A and B are shown apart, each in its own frame.
Chain A
Amino acid sequence: MHKISKQVMNKKRLFSLMVLTFAVFGATFYATAQEGGNNEKPKNEAAKPASAEEAKAGKEKLDVAKVIFGHIADAHEWHLFSIKHEGSEETPVAMPLPVIIYNPDNGLSVFSSSNIAEGKEYNAGNVTYVLDKSSSMKEKIVVKGNPDAKIYDVSITKNVLSMLISVVILLVVLLKAGKKYNAADGIKAPKGMQNFLEVVIIFLRDEVGKPCLGNKYQRYMPLLLTIFFFIWINNLLGLLPGGANFTGNIAVTSCLALLSFIVILANSKKHFWSHLFNPPGVPGWMKPMLVLIEIISLFIKPMALMIRLFANIMAGHIVILALICMVFIFAAINTYVGAGFVPVSIAFAIFMFLLELLVGAIQAFIFCNLTAVFIGQSIEDPHGHEVHEAHA
């Protein structure tokens, strides 16, 4: 009983924390919109906010695209919220993250992102690094005075930190579950988290692994399961208020797609290549064209994996943010209209949020399933062909 009430309490606490974070976010947005918060020209705004004309000008400057892409894009610090005191500039409250830069000319530099925040410059020996925010979609650390200099930025950004959190969660949960199978004989009934994991694992094994990979499924199950859980947990973490848009980043999806492409190629059999370069049952004159198409399709497969996940998750984030931003768009016209639109906007946002919960699981499943299908095609035996066709 005690344990249950504690769990309930924890859940309540988590929920209230989420509500609080959400409210803080909303309030920040609202304040920003009201005051026409614009970091680039704070002096104009802060000097005479009471002036009706200036306020109107400020409202017009609400750049929804900038707000949305600011949340979608990766960042060198984890922005939580902004505080605006009466008569002062808006000060963002953000968690500074480590910046790691390798410059072939200057070597490795590691420093806190607070050193380059708010337009500051960081002097690392011979060069000075600044944060280039000229692009509305992506910020970038560049060498001052030489923006095209080649540097390798391997900073622990917001996305990387979010991913590291997901990795810790994955390892803690799954290693704990895995230990139970080592300790006891396998016949023992599952308990707690193990129950939930087993449902997912068995589903992936029986609905993805076995149909796509036949009797060799056991070799690929660890990869498929890791892909699924890795994407899923990151999709869910991305949905938390203040969370990073990790799986909606092309670098992440390209990395995952590249890995599955490597696995597909590394395990491919002779049969796969012979089909690719010498498609059977095709008139000779058509073969060159077909081979070309086959080769293109070979590379399109991982590209599709990459873009599908990236676009789905990013689109979800954009839609939720856009729905919330609508409050401020309407508030820019009239404060009362904006306030009146809050329930509508929140209702739509909640709907989208729930939909994104579903999409998060579905996209993880699709990535995993398509990887299995592509591996299945590449490891296909000449004998198993008919069987596979029948399955498909």
Chain B
Amino acid sequence: MDLLTPEFGLFFWTLLAFLTVFFILRKFAWKPILKGLGDREKGIADSIATAERIKQEMAEFKSENEKLLAQAREERTLMLREAKDAKDKIIGDAKEQAKIEANKIIIDAQQQIQQQKMAALTEVKNEIGNLALEVAEKILRKQLNNSEGQEMYMKMLAEDIKLN
């Protein structure tokens, strides 16, 4: 039974030492260590969360960028097509216009040519008429210079009258 009866001295020293160790360690070891561990765990968790968030944001940015890029590409294609269309249209229009203009010019030219031809013809006709008149005048003057010619002319006129 001696083993089961606690000695006062050892009990006393154990109590004293344990309480001393407890209070010293609580203040200078356990509290800073537990706080440090907690802070570190929190810090790591926060860092991971931040990294995750940034990763997500980056992914979002990336997808957004890709979307923008695709949109830009599409727009470019569209603009190119539009430009091509516009070019084609302009060229087509210009060709049409040119054709119309050309046709008009040709028609005008033809008309003018016609007019000038007609004018020239009229002039030629007039010239010819005048020439014929002059010739006739000259012939008549020559024929009617003498009495025989006058008589003959008179006879011809008389015949004409008679005929009427």
Chain A interface residues toward B at CB < 8 A: 69, 72-74, 100, 135, 137-138, 152-157, 159-160, 163-164, 167, 170-171, 174-175, 177-182, 185-188, 197-198, 201-202, 205, 218, 221-223, 225-226, 229-230, 249-252, 254-256, 259, 314
- Supposing A178-B29, A222-B25, A222-B31 touch, asked if A259 and B37 sit within 8 A by C-beta, the answer is no
* Interface status of B5 (Cβ within 8 A of chain A): yes
24 of the cross-chain contacts (CB-CB < 8 Å) are A72-B3, A137-B3, A152-B9, A153-B7, A154-B13, A160-B9, A163-B17, A174-B33, A175-B24, A175-B25, A175-B28, A178-B28, A181-B35, A185-B39, A186-B38, A186-B39, A222-B22, A249-B7, A249-B10, A250-B4, A251-B11, A252-B14, A256-B14, A259-B19
Complex-state Cα separation, A218 to B35, whole angstroms: 10
Write the chain B residue with the least CB distance to A194: B33
Measured CB to CB, the closest approach of chain A to B48, in angstroms, equals 13
Complexed CA–CA distance, A72 and B10 (Å): 14
Cβ-closest chain B residue relative to A197: B33
CA gap between A256 and B37 in the complex, in Å: 27
| Given A138-B2, A181-B36, A222-B26: A251 touches B21 (CB 8 Å cut-off) | no
Contact with A along B21-53 (1 / 0, CB 8 A): 110111011111111111110011000000000
- Expressed in whole angstroms, the Cα–Cα distance for A163 and B7 within the complex equals 15
Q: How far is the CA of A218 from the CA of B10 in the complex (A)?
A: 31
A80 to chain B, nearest CB (A): 21
A115 to B9, CA, bound (A): 19
The distance in angstroms between the C-alpha atoms of A226 and B24, with both chains bound, is: 10
Q: Is the CB of A138 within 8 A of B3?
A: yes
Q: Which among B8, B12, B29 is the interface contact of A175 at CB below 8 angstroms?
A: B29
Main secondary structure of the interface of A (DSSP, over half): helix
Min CB gap B4→A, angstroms:
6
- Whole-angstrom CA separation of A93 from B12 in the bound complex: 28
Q: Is the CB of A177 within 8 A of B4?
A: no
Query: Are A250 and B21 also in contact (CB < 8 A) when A186-B36, A186-B38, A218-B34 are?
Result: no
Is B153 part of the binding interface, using a Cβ–Cβ cutoff of 8 Å?
Answer: no
Give the chain B neighbours of A137 by CB distance below 8 A.
Answer: 2-3
Q: Are B24 and A187 in contact (CB under 8 A)?
A: no
Could you say which residues of chain A place their CB within 8 Å of the CB of B43?
186-187
Beta-carbon contact of A167 and B14 below 8 Å:
no
Binding site for A on B (CB under 8 A): 2-15, 17-22, 24-26, 28-40, 43-44
Q: Does the CB pair A135–B2 fall under 8 Å?
A: yes
Cross-chain contact B15 with A259 (CB below 8 angstroms): yes
Residues of B within 8 A of A230 (CB): 18, 21
- Complex partner residue of B18 from A175, A226, A254, CB under 8 angstroms: A226
Complex: chain A residue closest to B3, CB-CB: A137
- Known contacts A138-B3, A250-B4; decide if A159 and B30 are in contact (CB<8 Å): no
Select from chain B the residue with minimum beta-carbon distance to A248: B3
B17 surroundings in chain A (CB, below 8 A) = 163-164, 167
Complex: chain B residue closest to A76, CB-CB? B9
Question: In the complex, what's the smallest C-beta–C-beta distance from A13 to chain B, in angstroms?
Answer: 28
Q: How far is the CA of A171 from the CA of B18 in the complex (A)?
A: 11
Specify which chain B residues have a CB less than 8 angstroms from the CB of A100 in the assembled complex: 9
> Nearest Cβ in chain B — how far from A188, in angstroms?
8
Please name all residues of chain B whose beta carbon is closer than 8 Å to the beta carbon of A251 when the two chains form the complex: 6-11, 14
Q: How far is the CA of A202 from the CA of B24 in the complex (A)?
A: 20
Q: Nearest Cβ in chain B — how far from A141, in angstroms?
A: 9
> Does the CB pair B15–A255 fall under 8 Å?
yes
A153 to B9 alpha-carbon distance, docked (Å):
5
- Output the least CB separation between B23 and chain A (Å): 9
5 new A-B contacts at CB < 8 Å, known A182-B32, A188-B40: A153-B9, A163-B17, A171-B25, A186-B37, A226-B25
Shortest beta-carbon distance from A161 to chain B in Å: 10
What B residues does A72 contact at CB under 8 A? 3
Q: Please name the 6 residue pairs, one residue from A and one from B, whose CB atoms are nearest each other, closest first.
A: A181-B36, A186-B39, A251-B6, A178-B29, A186-B36, A222-B26
Contact of B5 among A163, A175, A180, A250 (CB under 8 A): A250
- Closest-CB distance, B6 to chain A (whole angstroms): 4
Residues of A within 8 Å of B18, CB to CB, are: 226, 230, 255-256, 259
- Specify which chain B residues have a CB less than 8 angstroms from the CB of A153 in the assembled complex: 7-9
Do residues B35 and A186 form an inter-chain contact, with CB atoms below 8 A?
Answer: yes
Bound-state CA distance A186–B28 (Å) is 15
User: Within the complex, which residue of A201, A223, A252 is in contact with B37, where a contact is CB–CB below 8 Å?
Assistant: A201
Instruction: Contact check, B34 vs A198: say whether CB atoms are below 8 A apart.
Output: no
A177-B8 in contact given A163-B17, A225-B25 (Cβ < 8 Å): no
A159, B10: Cβ atoms under 8 Å?
yes
Partner of B34, one of A160, A185, A205, A254: A205
Chain A residues with Cβ under 8 A from B37's Cβ?
181, 186, 198, 201-202, 205
